[in-house]
Amino acid sequence: MEDLTAGSCAACDGWVPPLSDAEIEALKAKLHPDWVMGADGKSLVRTLRFKAYAKAVYAANMAAFLSDKEGHHADVRFGWGYCEITYTSHELNRLSENDFICAAKLDALLA
């Protein structure tokens, strides 16, 4: 997919083929450089830093809104000065294109 922000999340019922390492790297290259692979190797994580609490809450709400709209739900942690967003395809226990679509759409909202 050329522009990830133009995509929509598909239902993950266990039938989606796994992404190869090359596909993961190609999709990751289309995201903001702050996205990193989770320690489990099955998730994408971006930590946003702020100088106060309110902006962290706003970022968390933005991620929650996007997740609800896409039907692909991020794990969101936040507190004073930070908001951490994690995307993974829980049903598949690995990354799918949905994770990259949502990460790209969040990048666009944050830009």
Instruction: Confirm whether 17 is domain-assigned.
Output: no
Instruction: Confirm whether 24 is domain-assigned.
Output: no
Domain count, the chain: 1
**102 has a pLDDT exceeding 80:** yes
What rounded mean pLDDT belongs to the chain? Answer: 88
Instruction: Confirm whether 68 is domain-assigned.
Output: yes
With 0-12 / 13-18 / 19 or more C-beta atoms within 10 angstroms meaning exposed / middle / buried, residue 46 is buried
**9 has a pLDDT exceeding 70:** no
- State percent of the chain over pLDDT 70: 86
Instruction: Confirm whether 22 is domain-assigned.
Output: no
**Count of CB atoms within 10 A of residue 2's CB?**
6
Instruction: Confirm whether 83 is domain-assigned.
Output: yes
Instruction: Confirm whether 86 is domain-assigned.
Output: yes
Instruction: Confirm whether 67 is domain-assigned.
Output: yes
Owning domain of residue 96? 37-111
**55 has a pLDDT exceeding 70:** yes
Q: What is the pTM of this model?
A: 0.86
Strand order in the sheet with 82-87: 36-37, 44-49, 82-87, 75-79
- Could you tell me the CATH number of the domain that includes residue 101? 3.30.1360.20
Q: Which of 43-47, 67-71, 79-83, 101-105 is predicted least confidently?
A: 67-71
**1 has a pLDDT exceeding 50:** no
Instruction: Confirm whether 8 is domain-assigned.
Output: no
The neighbouring-strand residues paired with 86 are 45, 75
